[in-house]
Structure 1
Amino acid sequence: MKARKRLVRRVLGAAATTALAWLVVAQGLLGGSASTTSTAAAVHAVADETPGYAVEGFDYPQADKILAEQGITLKRGDGHIVLAECGSQTGLLEIMARASSDLICFRVTGNSGYLTLEIPSVYAIRGNDYAAQVDMTTADEEQSYDIAKNTWTPVGESADEQGREFMLVEIRTSK
């Protein structure tokens, strides 16, 4: 809906700019009395009001609401890894985190996907039919893990010799 509104504003802005330009040309051809300085200023003012081009930022939709409700920070992705209700379907990527009493699940689609996020204290991830890799951080170290397909993989504190808590910061998948 937002994209449609931006498109309508862009089209209307372009139409107004074109109409004003034709008016300037017609007035000049007919010997109108308006000064070229004020006409140029009017064209410039209308052009400045035209909305810019839409650029996809890949920010996760409704991230603020998800953070408030579930305590999960979802940042950016390509749309092929999305938060899902656990148990809603088979083949979900499942995450166990000390900070959450429930599983956190993601649906994976397409041939490949990525998602940057922040889930603290992750200690196990159950893979699905995709090859998956995750990046995790602790205060002074980064770790990457390959997630086994369709089975639980220990990550973070359960795979760390010192038992340090790690934050999940990125998920990458491929077929």
Structure 2
Amino acid sequence: MRAKRAFSAVCALMTAAFVVTAADALGADAPAVSVDAGQSSLVEDYQHPNKEGAAAVGLTLKNGNGKIFWVDCVAGADQVTVESDSITTPNHVACFKVVGIDGYLALEIPSTYFVKAGSIKLTATLTGRANGQDVKRDYSIKPGQLTPVGEPVYPDEGPAALVELRSVA
């Protein structure tokens, strides 16, 4: 997918360079060239695609580097699964695909209680409250392992929100 985007970006830049070169060759009589206002920018904004669809099932997807992204859950697939009372899918599960190490996704899933990694190790960051103070905890999620996080581990802190996933070596 990134290769296709990169190819499209290169083609757009080459077209723009050709137009500028052609205009220079024609001199001052060259017609003005305008850019379509509806055309999307070539600048990456790191916003997660399909944020609206995710919000409909209780996930807030913020931004990332494209190596971790929300997907439909498929039995037996190499996916990260997150279990939360706030997710409105069957079994309260959301799934994510990880496509390499150094992946990053900022998100918010309140009341998260389990995270299971696919074939790549993860760090999951959750936030909660204890004694009136904000608490931030990182959990190491081993490949293929269902790991309790948040309230099951620290019941005095109450429900915790998953705020970040990172794939690590």
Q: Which residue of 2 aligns with 1:104?
A: 94
Unaligned stretches of 5+ in structure 2?
Answer: none
Provide TM-score, normalisation by structure 1: 0.69
Task: Output the aligned Cα RMSD.
Answer: 3.4
Are the equivalent residues in 1 in contact too, given 2:51–2:61 (CA < 8 A)? Answer: yes
Highest RCO, 1 vs 2 (Cα 8 Å, sep ≥ 6): 2
2:110 equivalent to 1:120: yes
Larger Rg over CA atoms: 1
Are the equivalent residues in 2 in contact too, given 1:93–1:125 (CA < 8 A)? Answer: yes
Are the equivalent residues in 2 in contact too, given 1:132–1:174 (CA < 8 A)? Answer: yes
Between the aligned residues of both structures, percent identity stands at: 27
Q: Which residue of 2 aligns with 1:143?
A: 137
Are the equivalent residues in 2 in contact too, given 1:13–1:49 (CA < 8 A)? Answer: no
Provide TM-score, normalisation by structure 2: 0.71
Q: How many residues align?
A: 157
For 2:52, give the aligned amino acid. D
| Equivalent in 76, 79, 83 of residue 92 of structure 1 | 79
Q: Partners of 2:101 and 2:9 in 1: how far apart? A: 31
CA offset digits 1:46-78 (Å, max 9, x no partner): 5885999722222211212322x3221112222
Q: Partners of 1:20 and 1:148 in 2: how far apart? A: 58
For 1:84, give the aligned amino acid. V
| Equivalent in 157, 164, 167 of residue 170 of structure 1 | 164
